[in-house]
Structure 1
Amino acid sequence: MSMLDNHKLLFSNAALFFAGLTVLVAIVPALSNQKQNRPLPGAPALSKEARIGKGIYIANGCVACHTQQVRNIDMDKVWGDRPGLAADYAANVRTDFWRNTATLMGTERTGPDLTNVGTRQPGKDWNLVHLFNPRIVVKESVMPAYPWLFERKKDPAESDVVVNVPAAYLNGDEKIVATKDALYLLAYLQSLKQAALPQNTAVPEFLYKKEKKAAAGEGTAATVDGQALYAANCQSCHQENGEGLPGAFPALKGSPVVTGEDLEKYVDIIMNGYDAREEYGVMPPVGTNMNFTENEVAAIIDHERTSWGNQGKKVAPEDVKKIIDLLKLKTSE
């Protein structure tokens, strides 16, 4: 009897063929990749809070607008120190038995890539304000607000995390308080950092590089664009006009730190952050996180001291380097 005349035999053979093909094409290569690609030695596992936050990230559709993949092309260099590797995703596991969503690489960048956002923008206060209403910190943002991740209270408890939202977004004397879901999502965002490659491992190069005009940190301070560095690293909090956000982030326009003579304090704030003002959130160590050179720090200071009506003195990169070295020495003691 021909197999084509026996539907049971036909479908049984088709099923066996499909199962065998699945093993050869999908399962065996997956097991091989899993064996060959291990997580990088310095890659930390997600904390319990970050794992919950990953679920909230998925539930709110963040992956629709944000990627987590630094491609090996030069235009992606702003999102990470190196192109992504298979090892960067090796530690990802299924969300649960029914859902895969192991990696959240995404396919569209309506918003910026988040591969290294835990290093690029680690600040708790900025992230919470941004989730509450992105237009507060970035006027041009098309990201939706997530007000359901927050509560409005007139008398927050001591254990509540109060978000420093400008008064214009508040009703009377109420306060904005982050819910547990907001804090879980924050923990996940702060966990997104590119792990360092093992020592003596060659770093993959970014392809299709444009002709270099003045790479950040190279050459003299005059060749480094302080305005561009400010826009990329400082503007989201202190704003383009240098006026900050009242009740959230301090102004640099007319700031005594910016226009004053205490250069060591100024450089220390840029490199190591600042947490000495109850009315404002904690500033993260932007300079250390981004590996600023003395030329970059000097260029940012010069831009801030000569913008928005400020009339501070410009600084020499060699003086900045002495302070950076001194700060490193103090930290190591």
Structure 2
Amino acid sequence: MTNFPKFIYGLAFAFGLPWLLLVIIPALWGQKLAPLPYDQDRDGMTGAYPGGGIYRQGQLVYLREGCNQCHTQVIRPSFEGLTDGWKMGWGSDQTPQPKLVVRPSTARDYMHEPVAPLGIARNGPDLANVGYRIKDDKKLLQKLYAPQSLFPWSVMPAHRHLFKVQKIQGSGAAHALDLPKEFAPEKGYEVVPKPETLELVKYIKSLKKDEPIPGQVPQE
């Protein structure tokens, strides 16, 4: 029993030090982050990095639905002299042979987000810059409603509770989904997204976390 106080102190130290170094200090450091200004002469552009905010309501739906359980929003750095060829299509350059290197994510990329949705696992594609890859809102909505209607091999769960089935009025709703027969509702009805689903789509389309960093702007 004489060593009990030492045991308690040792236990507090063993858990307290990592908590201080890995949680408290990084959190305090993150709160002090501020946007970095661009220099017109050096960078060829004005403004600040990072730029605007996010669609907060859409992010709330994203987190509530657990999208971060299967999708990351982090571009990891390349080590050992590896090229970025494996990151084709991960940034703003969507050409078959991208010339622009996709830069790694930084803490400032998440400055305007109350919660940084880094992700738990990468079971699905990384979404850090997915906004560049989305060309059709309805395709994204269709993927949310019935992923297997686009990719039969997809393991993504359907989020049909984000939609409603309603009777077709007139020429139909503007956002009604164009579904294959096996996924479509009965004749005379249509599937339309709920307002929160449209907010989710806005948020996903806004994900472009590859703004150039001041002092590191690629020069053509």
Q: TM-score, normalised by structure 1?
A: 0.48
- Any gaps of 5 or more consecutive residues in structure 1? 94-101, 204-333
SS at match of 1:79: coil
C-alpha spacing 1:122/1:83, structure 2 compared with 1 (3 Å): farther
Find the aligned partners of 1:37 and 1:199 in 2 and give their Cα distance. 13
Pair 1:163 & 2:176 matched: yes
Deviations along 1:58-111, whole A, 9 cap, x unmatched? 222222221111122322343223222222123332xxxxxxxx2222243222
Q: Which residue of 2 aligns with 1:64?
A: 69
Q: Which residue of 1 aligns with 2:89?
A: 78
Find the aligned partners of 1:11 and 1:161 in 2 and give their Cα distance. 67
Instruction: Return the index of the structure with the highest Cα Rg.
Output: 1
Selected match of 2:25 from 19, 22, 28: 28
- Counterparts in 2 of 1:184-223, with a 5 A limit? 184-198=199-213, 200-202=215-217
Selected match of 2:158 from 126, 139, 145: 145
Find the aligned partners of 1:122 and 1:107 in 2 and give their Cα distance. 26
C-alpha spacing 1:32/1:161, structure 2 compared with 1 (3 Å): same
Selected match of 2:149 from 136, 148, 157: 136
Q: Which amino acid in the other structure matches residue 31 of structure 1?
A: L
Q: Which residue of 2 aligns with 1:114?
A: 127
Is the 1:66–1:112 Cα contact (8 Å) retained in structure 2?
yes
Q: Which has the higher helix share?
A: 1
How many residues align? The count is 188
Find the aligned partners of 1:143 and 1:83 in 2 and give their Cα distance. 26
Find the aligned partners of 2:22 and 2:129 in 1 and give their Cα distance. 33
Aligned-pair RMSD on alpha carbons?
A: 3.3
How many percent identity over aligned positions?
A: 31
1:153 shift after superposition:
1.0
Find the aligned partners of 1:64 and 1:173 in 2 and give their Cα distance. 36
Find the aligned partners of 2:6 and 2:157 in 1 and give their Cα distance. 53
1:135 shift after superposition:
2.2
- Counterparts in 2 of 1:137-286, with a 5 A limit? 137-156=150-169, 161-166=174-179, 168=181, 169-198=184-213, 200-202=215-217
Selected match of 1:87 from 105, 108, 120: 108
Moved more, 56-65 or 161-170: 161-170
Q: Which residue of 2 aligns with 1:41?
A: 49
Deviations along 1:27-47, whole A, 9 cap, x unmatched? 23432344356476243112x
Structure with larger RCO (C-alpha < 8 A, sep 6+): 2
C-alpha spacing 1:44/1:140, structure 2 compared with 1 (3 Å): same
- Any gaps of 5 or more consecutive residues in structure 2? 37-47, 79-83, 92-101
C-alpha spacing 1:154/1:41, structure 2 compared with 1 (3 Å): same
1:156 shift after superposition:
4.7
Find the aligned partners of 1:164 and 1:132 in 2 and give their Cα distance. 9
Q: TM-score, normalised by structure 2?
A: 0.69
Q: Which amino acid in the other structure matches residue 51 of structure 2?
A: A
Q: Which residue of 1 aligns with 2:140?
A: 127
Q: Which amino acid in the other structure matches residue 87 of structure 2?
A: D
